[in-house]
């Protein structure tokens, strides 16, 4: 079979390898589609993912496919099932796991991060990582359940959105567009989006944005909730600045480990601001799959690039040059 191997930092190539041999609690998935995201870009350039990465490794932590082999201990899946994969595997033993805060697991492992992932034709994964997709749901849609589940976990970090809540989303790319749709499901007073690329504005408007801005400098209002989806110093600082009294800031964008931000501590004090982070997707993949199966969240219009496996290294090396909203690999 073909597998795209990251041998070391910025050194990735296709190799022929044997199909994985599954363990009793695992299934073998014939991968159909695998999404690419900023985490893959970080890993390609030598930065950490959700856990520490040790090449050689096959990347790809958001993918879908068909079950083609079943381990002896597997009871909840059958051959031919279409599944989306939750990549994160928790130890269940550490303090955080026993508190139910598994996303903070001290021995976290992940498909496509610490073990081979979806950028190969066949991938072995634990049965517990698989979530059934409706057979009618396109598999390219199912491959994107993982990022939607991360967005849903973000909502667990903030207060319940009310009818009076005014929301600002900074960054109208793929994640910002998912937040836009899921926020609208809660019927807030308004949802505005700040997105530098005006070519994305028409689509954001179709997805339900009330007002669109190209720069945070153009945003005058103060919001009850600001969701930052970029992870850059200037956008994080702007998000804090645009949050009104008693408001909340969700820092969702993935920053570089070296990113430092500056903001007036007095603003946090005097406005009683709350700031929250959101890491991976504990217990939310099932909800994400349900929303996709019910077509309550649209991801197909957000897929801007469909790639072949051999095109991936060049894309990861120069990701910012491609104008990608969401890229998926068709295997």
Work out the number of other CB atoms within 10 angstroms of the CB of residue 198.
9
Question: pLDDT digit string (tens) for 34-81?
Answer: 999 989 998 999 988 788 899 999 999 999 999 999 999 999 999 999
Stretch 268-281: mean pLDDT: 96
How far apart CA 108 and CA 88 sit, in angstroms, is 7
Q: Does residue 221 surpass a pLDDT of 90? A: no
Instruction: Give the pLDDT score at 292.
Output: 96
Is the CB of residue 84 less than 8 Å from the CB of residue 289? yes
Q: Please classify residue 212 by burial: count the beta carbons closer than 10 Å to its beta carbon, then call 0-12 exposed, 13-18 middle and 19+ buried.
A: middle
Which of 42, 105, 11, 108 lies closest to 258, judged by CA?
42
pLDDT range class, residue 220, cuts 50, 70, 90: confident
Instruction: Give the pLDDT score at 153.
Output: 98
How far apart CA 241 and CA 249 sit, in angstroms, is 10
Stretch 248-273: mean pLDDT: 95
Question: pLDDT digit string (tens) for 127-173?
Answer: 999 999 999 999 999 999 999 999 999 999 999 999 999 999 999 99
Instruction: Give the pLDDT score at 130.
Output: 98
- With tokens 């689509």, the residue in question is 203
Instruction: Give the pLDDT score at 219.
Output: 95
Instruction: Give the pLDDT score at 47.
Output: 85
Stretch 20-41: mean pLDDT: 96
Instruction: Give the pLDDT score at 290.
Output: 96
Instruction: Give the pLDDT score at 48.
Output: 82
Q: What is the mean pLDDT of the chain?
A: 96
Question: pLDDT digit string (tens) for 81-138?
Answer: 999 999 999 999 999 999 999 999 999 999 999 999 999 999 999 999 999 999 999 9
Instruction: Give the pLDDT score at 214.
Output: 97
Q: Does residue 27 surpass a pLDDT of 90? A: yes
Instruction: Give the pLDDT score at 215.
Output: 96
Q: Does residue 242 surpass a pLDDT of 90? A: yes
Q: Please classify residue 208 by burial: count the beta carbons closer than 10 Å to its beta carbon, then call 0-12 exposed, 13-18 middle and 19+ buried.
A: middle
- With tokens 């897929």, the residue in question is 303
**How much of the chain, in percent, has pLDDT values that exceed 90?**
94
Stretch 304-324: mean pLDDT: 95
pLDDT range class, residue 249, cuts 50, 70, 90: very high
Instruction: Give the pLDDT score at 49.
Output: 79
pTM of the predicted structure, to 2 decimals? 0.95
SS (H, E, C) 192-243: EEECCCHHHHHHHHHCCCCEEECCHHHCCCCEEEEEECCCCHHHHHHHHHCE
Question: pLDDT digit string (tens) for 205-214?
Answer: 999 999 999 9
In degrees and rounded to multiples of 5, residue 81 shows phi and psi of -60, 140
């Amino acid at each position: 079979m073909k597998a795209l191997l990251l041998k070391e930092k910025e050194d990735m190539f296709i190799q022929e390898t044997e199909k994985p041999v599954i363990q009793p609690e695992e299934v073998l998935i014939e991968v159909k589609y695998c999404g690419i995201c900023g985490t893959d870009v970080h890993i390609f350039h030598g930065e950490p993912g959700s856990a520490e990465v040790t090449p050689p490794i096959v990347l790809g932590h958001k993918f879908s496919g068909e079950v083609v082999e079943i381990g002896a201990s597997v009871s909840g899946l059958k051959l031919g099932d279409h599944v989306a994969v939750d990549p994160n595997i928790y130890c269940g033993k550490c303090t955080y796991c026993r508190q139910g805060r598994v996303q903070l697991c001290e021995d976290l492992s992940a498909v496509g991060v610490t073990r081979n992932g979806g950028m190969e034709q066949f991938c072995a994964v634990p049965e517990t990582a698989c979530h059934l997709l409706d057979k009618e749901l396109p598999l390219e849609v199912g491959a994107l359940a993982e990022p939607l589940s991360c967005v849903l976990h973000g909502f667990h970090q903030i207060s319940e959105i009310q009818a009076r809540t005014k929301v600002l989303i900074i960054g109208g790319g793929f994640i910002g567009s998912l937040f836009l749709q899921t926020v609208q499901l809660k019927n807030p007073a308004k949802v505005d989006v700040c997105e530098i690329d005006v070519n994305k504005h028409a689509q954001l408007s179709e997805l339900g944005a009330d007002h669109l801005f190209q720069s945070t400098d153009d945003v005058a209002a103060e919001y009850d909730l600001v969701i930052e989806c970029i992870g850059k110093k200037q956008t994080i600082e702007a998000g804090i600045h645009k949050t009104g009294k008693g408001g909340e800031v969700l820092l969702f964008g993935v920053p570089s480990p070296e990113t430092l931000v500056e903001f007036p501590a007095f603003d946090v004090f005097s406005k009683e601001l709350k700031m929250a982070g959101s890491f991976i997707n504990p217990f939310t993949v099932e909800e994400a799959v349900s929303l996709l199966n019910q077509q309550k969240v649209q991801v197909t219009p957000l897929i801007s690039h469909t790639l072949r496996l051999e095109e991936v290294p060049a894309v990861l090396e120069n990701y910012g040059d491609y104008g990608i909203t969401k890229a998926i690999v068709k295997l």
